[in-house]
A and B are shown apart, each in its own frame.
Chain A
Amino acid sequence: MSIPAVPVPMESPRAPWYRRLPVISHYNKSVGLQRGMLVAGLILTSAFVLTAIFAPLLAPYGFAQLSDSDGNFPTQQAPGGKHLLGTTVGGYDVLSRVIWGAQTAILVIVVAVAMSIVVGVVLGLVSGYLGGWLDRILVVIADAVYAFPSLLVAIVMAIVISGGQSSLIGGIFAAGTAITLVFIPQYFRVIRAETVRLKAEPFVESAKVVGASNIRIMSRHIYRNATRTLPLIFTLNASEAILTLAGLGFLGFGIEPSSAAEWGFDLNKALADTTSGIWWTGMFPGLAIVLTVVGLTLVGESINDLNDPRLRGRKSRGGSSPAPVDNAAMAIEVRAS
């Protein structure tokens, strides 16, 4: 095979194109509990995305708004009345900040994941294909960063980039870059391992024989085959990105409250309220994080399970399946801080 076939592992090629789209084909393959988990995940994830997109329409107030025509907002007001979810100690409207927070979260996810995919894939391809001392060094560095608590790496990066606090755009890029550094080793490892495996395949050899350059082999022949697992890592990383962003915000290294709403920062401010029994300032941003991460995780895991025939739903109780490899669990536990 001189030209690597573009893999379409899902449905039979005859199915109409819309049935072969990633998530839809997974949906059609799923049964019972698994379908329920996928649907639940999709609902939560779309709710998150839609909230982020329509935040300006949905939110009753701005994220940094402290007063309206009736005067200043009351502080620490219990949920109800004009402020459905109450107000914070600083006088912000909790509901508005929760809604605007979705927008911040999605921007950071996009920045972080996009940057880490680009850097991680390029480094992984080059390192795996060329090998040699460059490969050795990159592997050792990636392993070192990978083994270290990711939140700490992100904190150090956040301080370096922004001095700890920053504006909306600056803050999003700072948080995004901080998270990127954490993710690069993951993409790097996956892509590199695939590249090392693919390098020995006959189609790479034949490409060499016909005189293709290294860059062409990497960018066309290996790249397409090595990046099949990326959608899965993407969904899993998206949830990690949210948790890391929230962790940064909670420690006070996130985005300033006047430049954007950020769930972790709100939780930080809510921590002091807890002791006096004020629950609404922390409860709602916290729930927003949990629901978003649960949604993304459910989608990611369902896709992972459905891609692996051994993990796909069992209809009968008999029959012994070989020990299934829980890839999603493996990927998850790596960065669950």
Chain B
Amino acid sequence: MTTLVDASPSDADGLLPATKKFSGGGLGQYILIRFLLIFPTIFILVTMVFFLMRITGDPITAAMGGRLPADQLQERIQAAGYDRPLLVQYFEYLGQLATGNFGRTLTDNRAVVEMLTTYGSATLELTINALLVALLVGIPLGMVAAHRRDKAPDAVLRVFAILCYATPVFFAGMLLKLTFAVWLGWLPVAGRAKTSSELALTSLEAPTGIYWLDALRSGNMAALSDVLAHAVLPAVALGLLTAGIFLRLVRTNVIGTLGRDYVEAGRSRGVSEYRLVTKHAYKPALIPIITVMGLQIAVMLGGAVLTEKTFEWKGLGFQLANYLTARDFVAVQGIVVLLAIIVAMTNFIVDIIAALIDPRVRY
């Protein structure tokens, strides 16, 4: 993806031959080509998952094998069409996908699309919360580290950043849970909300599925505080993972811009060090954050699977783990396809933003 090419100059030579070859024109052309590149990405991932899953056998044997006698099993396989040649099934699957038909889950017989929207909103909420935590923690601390470069605060913050990266989200989640939920009893142990507020929120008219948004819209303050209390620990656990990366990026880039002439000029005019860091050096240092944001979303989605399992947060990741254990391949494929679309779209949007900010990207 272009995101990374921008980020690391050593990769800059010819990693994206397709873009390089065709783009010479303006922004419009760049956006078009970048948009068209979404499709191969999704297509490749869908194809990979389809064939990899099929290597292990057909979904029905995997899900029901051992629980049904052989002849009944065979009947079901035939009824579902899994005994036909793989390629036929593959093209049929692609055709269904193109019309937005994801099929029905095998274990609980739900429409995959409905399952995706229900749990997807929970994952979306978790990811937004975590991203907020990451930005609120990472950017200010990165500025502090850059400002106090090579001093004690810098050393402490660098170790903190490494710890953020080195701690698996589920371990961080477990520690947070132990401390704040079990020992101190300040916050709930798991879940997204109490049953009462969950009922109140899901019975709303046209709920977004993002609980705090629904609570705000309906003006249900009791539910809002309950939802927020539940959201804190998962958001911190997942957010810290990315916060460390943002911290490092901001630090490195603020150090870079602090050495520039215009900052020196500001300093000679008597602008305070604080203002230099927060106003002058800080803004150009944010561009790299935007460019890595795309990859970070992918990282967060991976982390969300683990976070959701840790906190029994009933989102896509939690369901994915369940469906995987039950070998419900149709559901798994649906989730993977949705994630592939999200990842590809995020990368697209991020690349466009990067191109708007920095015209050199779209050469």
Q: Count residues on chain B whose CB falls below 8 Å from chain A CBs.
A: 82
Closest-by-CB residue of A relative to B257 is: A323
Do the beta carbons of A243 and B8 come within 8 Å of each other?
A: no
* Complexed CA–CA distance, A253 and B56 (Å): 15
* Complexed CA–CA distance, A267 and B17 (Å): 44
Do the beta carbons of A282 and B295 come within 8 Å of each other?
A: no
Residue-wise interface mask of A (128-146) relative to B, using a CB-CB cutoff of 8 A (1 in contact, 0 not)? 0000000110011101111
Asked whether A69 is an interface residue with its Cβ less than 8 Å from the other chain, the reply is no
Residue-wise interface mask of A (314-335) relative to B, using a CB-CB cutoff of 8 A (1 in contact, 0 not)? 1000001111111101101111
Residues of A within 8 A of B190 (CB): 275
* Complexed CA–CA distance, A326 and B53 (Å): 38
Residues of A within 8 A of B1 (CB): 143, 146-147
Closest-by-CB residue of A relative to B264 is: A320
Residues of B within 8 A of A33 (CB): 150, 155
Which of B165, B177, B248, B336 is packed against the most chain A CB atoms within 10 Å? B165
Which of A146, A149, A247 is packed against the most chain B CB atoms within 10 Å? A149
Which residues 292-332 of A sit at the B interface, judged by CB distance below 8 A? 293-294, 297-298, 301, 313-314, 320-327, 329-330, 332
Do the beta carbons of B170 and A140 come within 8 Å of each other?
A: no
Do the beta carbons of A322 and B259 come within 8 Å of each other?
A: yes
* Complexed CA–CA distance, A279 and B40 (Å): 47
Do the beta carbons of B150 and A193 come within 8 Å of each other?
A: no
Closest-by-CB residue of A relative to B335 is: A152
- The segment out of A16-24, A79-87, A111-119, A157-165 that lies at the interface is A157-165
* Complexed CA–CA distance, A239 and B175 (Å): 21
- Which residue of the partner chain, among B18, B48, B165, B294, contacts A297 with CB atoms under 8 Å? B165
Residues of A within 8 A of B242 (CB): 333, 336
Do the beta carbons of B298 and A290 come within 8 Å of each other?
A: no
Closest-by-CB residue of A relative to B42 is: A144
Do the beta carbons of A193 and B298 come within 8 Å of each other?
A: no
- The segment out of B75-83, B91-99, B338-346, B353-361 that lies at the interface is B338-346
A21 to chain B, nearest CB (A): 24
Residues of B within 8 A of A286 (CB): 167-168, 171, 174-175
Do the beta carbons of A148 and B166 come within 8 Å of each other?
A: no
Residues of B within 8 A of A335 (CB): 299
Do the beta carbons of B249 and A159 come within 8 Å of each other?
A: no
- Which residue of the partner chain, among B13, B56, B171, B244, contacts A289 with CB atoms under 8 Å? B171
Residues of A within 8 A of B189 (CB): 274-275
Do the beta carbons of B150 and A156 come within 8 Å of each other?
A: no
Range, interface on chain A: 35 or more
Asked whether A216 is an interface residue with its Cβ less than 8 Å from the other chain, the reply is no
Asked whether B34 is an interface residue with its Cβ less than 8 Å from the other chain, the reply is no
Do the beta carbons of A324 and B162 come within 8 Å of each other?
A: no
Asked whether B255 is an interface residue with its Cβ less than 8 Å from the other chain, the reply is yes
Asked whether A271 is an interface residue with its Cβ less than 8 Å from the other chain, the reply is yes
Residue-wise interface mask of B (326-353) relative to A, using a CB-CB cutoff of 8 A (1 in contact, 0 not)? 0000001000100110011001000000
Residues of A within 8 A of B344 (CB): 147
Asked whether A7 is an interface residue with its Cβ less than 8 Å from the other chain, the reply is no
* Complexed CA–CA distance, A136 and B256 (Å): 35
* Complexed CA–CA distance, A330 and B41 (Å): 22
A293 to chain B, nearest CB (A): 4
Asked whether A235 is an interface residue with its Cβ less than 8 Å from the other chain, the reply is no
Which residues 234-259 of A sit at the B interface, judged by CB distance below 8 A? 239, 243, 246-247, 250-253
Do the beta carbons of A135 and B306 come within 8 Å of each other?
A: no
Do the beta carbons of A159 and B11 come within 8 Å of each other?
A: no
Are A294 and B162 also in contact (CB < 8 A) when A146-B1, A197-B13 are?
Answer: yes
Which residues 132-189 of B sit at the A interface, judged by CB distance below 8 A? 150, 155, 158, 162-163, 165-171, 174-175, 177-178, 182-183, 189
Asked whether B303 is an interface residue with its Cβ less than 8 Å from the other chain, the reply is yes
* Complexed CA–CA distance, A140 and B16 (Å): 9
Do the beta carbons of A160 and B52 come within 8 Å of each other?
A: yes
Which residues 292-342 of B sit at the A interface, judged by CB distance below 8 A? 292, 294-296, 298-299, 301-303, 305-306, 309-310, 320-321, 324-325, 332, 336, 339-340
Asked whether A192 is an interface residue with its Cβ less than 8 Å from the other chain, the reply is yes
Asked whether B253 is an interface residue with its Cβ less than 8 Å from the other chain, the reply is yes
* Complexed CA–CA distance, A63 and B244 (Å): 34
Do the beta carbons of A290 and B55 come within 8 Å of each other?
A: no
Residues of B within 8 A of A96 (CB): none
Residue-wise interface mask of A (182-214) relative to B, using a CB-CB cutoff of 8 A (1 in contact, 0 not)? 000000011011101100000000000000000
Asked whether B228 is an interface residue with its Cβ less than 8 Å from the other chain, the reply is no
Asked whether A13 is an interface residue with its Cβ less than 8 Å from the other chain, the reply is no
A302 to chain B, nearest CB (A): 11
Residues of A within 8 A of B178 (CB): 274, 277, 279, 282
Residues of A within 8 A of B340 (CB): 148
Asked whether A151 is an interface residue with its Cβ less than 8 Å from the other chain, the reply is yes
Do the beta carbons of A298 and B52 come within 8 Å of each other?
A: no
Do the beta carbons of A140 and B252 come within 8 Å of each other?
A: no
**A to B CB contacts below 8 Å, 25 in the list:** A139-B15, A144-B40, A147-B41, A147-B344, A147-B347, A149-B305, A156-B332, A156-B336, A160-B56, A164-B324, A194-B10, A247-B306, A253-B324, A271-B170, A271-B309, A277-B178, A289-B166, A290-B163, A290-B166, A290-B168, A293-B165, A329-B245, A330-B292, A335-B299, A336-B303
Interface residues, chain A, with chain B CB atoms under 8 Å away:
32-33, 37, 135-136, 139-141, 143-152, 155-157, 159-160, 163-164, 189-190, 192-194, 196-197, 229, 239, 243, 246-247, 250-253, 264, 267, 270-271, 274-277, 279, 282-283, 286, 289-290, 293-294, 297-298, 301, 313-314, 320-327, 329-330, 332-337
Known: A297-B166, A334-B299. 19 other contacts (CB 8 A): A139-B15, A140-B41, A140-B44, A143-B41, A144-B45, A147-B41, A152-B301, A189-B4, A251-B305, A251-B324, A275-B182, A286-B171, A289-B171, A294-B163, A324-B256, A327-B8, A333-B299, A335-B299, A337-B306
Interface residues, chain B, with chain A CB atoms under 8 Å away:
1, 4, 7-18, 40-41, 44-45, 48-49, 52-53, 55-56, 150, 155, 158, 162-163, 165-171, 174-175, 177-178, 182-183, 189-190, 241-242, 244-245, 248-249, 252-253, 255-257, 259-260, 264, 292, 294-296, 298-299, 301-303, 305-306, 309-310, 320-321, 324-325, 332, 336, 339-340, 343-344, 347
Per CB-CB distance, the 8 closest pairs between chain A and chain B, nearest first, are A323-B256, A149-B302, A320-B259, A337-B302, A293-B166, A286-B171, A151-B302, A333-B245
